[in-house]
Amino acid sequence: MADNFKMIAKTLYGMEAILSEELRKLGAGNVEEGVRCAFFEGDQGFMYKANLSLRTALRILKPIQTFQIRRQEELYSRIQEINWNLYLSPSMTFVVDTVLHSDHFSNSLFVSQKAKDAIVDQFRERLGERPTVSVSDPDLRIHLHLQGNTVHVSLDSSGSSLHRRGYRLDTNIAPINEVLAAGSLLLSGWRGQSD
C-alpha cells in the first residue's frame, strides 16, 4: 500500500455518487465525493484500471502540486518552482487545461498561457531548448484547477476524454455522451435483467 497515491476522477455534475460507488467496487481506497469529481487512492496499476474500467469518469488526474496564491503574479513563479524535467523533455509536446473558480482570474485561457510560459521558460533557462505546445495531440496534458486562492496542478493520465474510448468510428447526429448514457442507466437502477 506504500505505492498508493491520491488521484481525481472527473465526471459530469450529478454523477459524483455513482462514480464514487464505481470506484469502491473497483477497489479504490479512501473514496470521497467532490463536485464533478471523486477523490481516491490507488497505485499505478489501479490508475490504468480506472482509465479502462470506469464508465462514469471523464478523466483520471494525478495531482503533483498544490499551492496558495494571493496575486496573479504568483501563478507564474509557483508553476516555475515545479521541476518539470520529471515529467517533460524538450522533445515532447504538452498542453495546459485550466478550470477556474477564482476571484484572481477571469479567463482560463490566460491562466493556461501563463502556466505554459512558466514551463517553457524553465526549460529555456536550464537547457537552452524547450518543449512545444500541441493542443490536438500532446504527449503530456497538464491540468490546473484554481479554486479561490488554491491551485491544484495535476497530470492527466487519460489523454483525451474517456468518453472517446475509440470504439465508435461512425456517429449519428447528436449522439449522447457515453458517460452520460452509462450514468443514466446506473441511476435508473436497471441491471440488464430485463428489457
pTM > 0.85: no
Beta strands at 132-133 and 140-147: parallel, antiparallel or unpaired: unpaired
How confident is the model at residue 60, as a pLDDT? 92
Architecture of domain 1-58+174-190: 2-Layer Sandwich (3.30)
The pLDDT tens digits along the chain (195 residues) read 568 999 999 998 888 999 999 999 999 999 999 888 899 999 999 999 999 889 889 989 999 999 999 888 899 999 999 999 999 999 999 999 998 888 878 888 999 999 999 999 999 999 999 998 888 889 999 999 888 888 999 999 876 555 555 555 555 665 666 777 777 777 777 777 776
**Which part of the chain is CATH 3.30.2130.30?**
1-58+174-190, 63-157
How confident is the model at residue 71, as a pLDDT? 84
Tell me the residue ranges of DSSP E strands in 22-72.
29-33, 37-42, 59-68
CA dist 95 and 58 (Å) reads 17
How confident is the model at residue 192, as a pLDDT? 72
CA-to-CA dists, residue 97 to 82, 135, 175, 192, angstroms? 17, 9, 25, 37
The dihedrals phi and psi of 147, each to the nearest 5 degrees, come to: -125, 105
Vertex 152, ends 39 and 154: CA angle to 5°? 75
How confident is the model at residue 70, as a pLDDT? 85
How confident is the model at residue 63, as a pLDDT? 93
CA-to-CA dists, residue 72 to 44, 63, 122, angstroms? 34, 21, 19
H helices present in the chain, as ranges: 16-26, 44-53, 73-80, 108-127, 178-188
How many Å is the Cα radius of gyration of the chain?
18
- Is there a contact between 9 and 22 (Cβ–Cβ < 8 Å)? no
How confident is the model at residue 75, as a pLDDT? 92
Vertex 72, ends 66 and 76: CA angle to 5°? 60
User: DSSP state, 124?
Assistant: H
- With 0-12 / 13-18 / 19 or more C-beta atoms within 10 angstroms meaning exposed / middle / buried, residue 107 is exposed
CATH 2.40.50.220 given to domain 63-157: no
